[in-house]
Chains A and B, each alone.
Chain A
Amino acid sequence: DTAVSQTPKYLVTQMGNDKSIKCEQNLGHDTMYWYKQDSKKFLKIMFSYNNKELIINETVPNRFSPKSPDKAHLNLHINSLELGDSAVYFCASSSSANEKLFFGSGTQLSVL
């Protein structure tokens, strides 16, 4: 009965590779997000989708491409990975009627 689930939990890869992180929510929410948390625990929004439409894109390099096949899924694809992409990436969701964010447990990405 996991609310927001993201996979994989850990991802270790080489520079230059392309990788994807998947996120699914079973809460019936209409909005989903990707957040990046750096090594200093600073949490910053990357993208937000509402009903499969992109509504927030926070100056993220175009190597990052979110894809929302339906309201319950928001996947994050990253091309040409760089060392600086190493971080924990959190998926989250919310309902337009409620300000509460529900977070997944995070994907720790390590780029070597």
Chain B
Amino acid sequence: AQSVTQLGSHVSVSEGALVLLRCNYSSSVPPYLFWYVQYPNQGLQLLLKYTSAATLVKGINGFEAEFKKSETSFHLTKPSAHMSDAAEYFCAVSESGGYQKVTFGTGTKLQVIP
């Protein structure tokens, strides 16, 4: 069975500081991994996805994530936080992608302090 664990339900960073949101996954087969962002009162939007190509994945808004099989991790980073990055971030895993089931983590709320 697949699952994801997001470490830290709340993360606070200063504007301009590094953003690091942690995600560890469990999957019985090579996984597809995703990061989604949810702004207040909106649906989720895809930030980036890993589908067994390059291990370092670049997404929108300057975010990137690195797939590390040995650590079963897929942490999300951004070199310099912007106020507009304040949102809820969800890591997700799918064992086969497409229409198969995507399992979401419990989310990490990112607060950016001016």
- Chain A residues in contact with chain B, CB under 8 A? 4, 30-31, 40-45, 48, 50, 55-56, 58, 90, 92, 94-101, 103-106
B36 contacts which chain A residues (CB < 8 A)? 101
Closest CB in chain B relative to A10 CB, distance in Å: 10
Q: Does B68 contact A (CB under 8 A)?
A: no
Q: Does B64 contact A (CB under 8 A)?
A: no
Nearest A residue to B32 via CB reads A99
Q: Which residue of the partner chain, among B44, B104, B109, contacts A44 with CB atoms under 8 Å?
A: B104
B32 contacts which chain A residues (CB < 8 A)? 99
Contact A55 B104 (CB under 8 A): no
Nearest B residue to A42 via CB reads B106
**Bound state CA distance, A97 and B97, in angstroms?**
9
Q: Does B46 contact A (CB under 8 A)?
A: yes
Contact B41 A41 (CB under 8 A): no
Proximity bits, B83-109, A CB within 8 Å = 1, else 0: 000001010001001110111101101
